[in-house]
Structure 1
Amino acid sequence: MKKAIVLILLFVSGVVMAQNEPIKVVFDVTSSNPDVHRTAAKHLRLMAEAYPDSEFEMVIYSGAYSMVDNKSSVAGETLTEMVKKDNVSIVICQQTMKRHEMSMNDLIPGVGSVPDGIYEIVMRQKEGWGYIKEAQ
């Protein structure tokens, strides 16, 4: 019995320690659906708060451009707080911005841009980042 308790404690402590190991995650958001925007922002917030030693990047492109529009974003409040965190970056594809005639002034302050959203995601994955597709 004593041996079983020790094994259980070792297993539980291993699981807890494993969840504290820093991770790197890239979130892929392309949907124009406001519900997806809210959910994606919530996921980013929860992960960044739960794992402050980890890194998170949200890449916005295609129909999701309104998610970072400073005038119409349904997730603007959450994203405004997230870009202030050292372990979070939120970027939008410059090609998407061009297609929708957006400038950096149209974005939530602190949101950056990358030349190509898909390329950004592929490069993060090549660097070993985990990948989350936010969709509905």
Structure 2
Amino acid sequence: MKRILLVLLLSLLAFPALAQQKQRVVFQVSDNDPAKWSLALNNARNVQQDLGKDNVQIEIVAYGPGLGMLKSESKVADRLAQALDNNVGLIACENTMTNTKVTRDDMYGGIAYVKAGVTHIMKRQQEGWAYIRP
């Protein structure tokens, strides 16, 4: 009986620690479509508003045709600035950049880079991140 009470007590103490964990979500954008990018950026903003900006870590990973929206002349450049200001990670796939002969000088300032966008998303999922493809 004492053992059961001890287990219950320890369980109750563990729940607040779990509740305080930061939520993490990775969005995939692989379409060169401003509407898709706007949807992903809207989703990111809505998640922050719902959970609280400090309670969630968000990344948007672009690869393939989706990389175009992270270029310096992007049609959603104003939205990219807002996302970066709100600590949303914008991540470009370097494999796509190499294959399309795009350099970092061609890209929007302040974004991050990974070797392979798909692999990055896979790793995030293995780490427990939620995955969304708008």
TM tier, smaller = 0.7 to 0.9
CA contact (8 A) 1:57 1:89 kept: yes
CA contact (8 A) 1:69 1:106 kept: yes
Q: For residues 44 and 104 of structure 2, what CA distance do their matches in structure 1 show?
A: 22
Deviations for 1:87-127, whole angstroms, at most 9, x for unmatched residues? x2110100111122111121111111100001100000011
Equivalence for 1:45: 45
Q: Give the TM-score normalised by the residue count of structure 1.
A: 0.76
CA contact (8 A) 1:38 1:74 kept: no
CA contact (8 A) 1:45 1:78 kept: no
Q: CA deviation at 1:33?
A: 2.0
Structure 2, unpaired ranges of 5+: 1-18
Between Structure 1 and Structure 2, the one with more helix by share is 2
Instruction: Summarize the Cα distance change of 1:45–1:74 in structure 2 as closer, same or farther, 3 Å threshold.
Output: farther
Q: How many percent of aligned residue pairs carry the same amino acid?
A: 26
Q: Does 1:124 align with 2:129?
A: no
- Map 1:1-136 onto structure 2 (within 5 A): 22-50=22-50, 51-52=52-53, 53-71=55-73, 73-86=74-87, 88-134=88-134
SS in 2 for 1:83: helix
SS in 1 for 2:89: strand
Q: CA deviation at 1:74?
A: 2.0
What is the Cα-based RMSD across aligned positions, in Å?
A: 1.8
Q: For residues 96 and 63 of structure 2, what CA distance do their matches in structure 1 show?
A: 6
Give the 4+ runs in structure 1 shifted more than 4 A: none
Instruction: Summarize the Cα distance change of 1:57–1:94 in structure 2 as closer, same or farther, 3 Å threshold.
Output: same
Q: Give the TM-score normalised by the residue count of structure 2.
A: 0.77
Q: For residues 35 and 42 of structure 2, what CA distance do their matches in structure 1 show?
A: 11
CA contact (8 A) 1:37 1:74 kept: no
CA contact (8 A) 1:37 1:67 kept: yes
Deviates more, 1:107-116 or 1:46-55: 46-55
Structure 1, unpaired ranges of 5+: 1-17
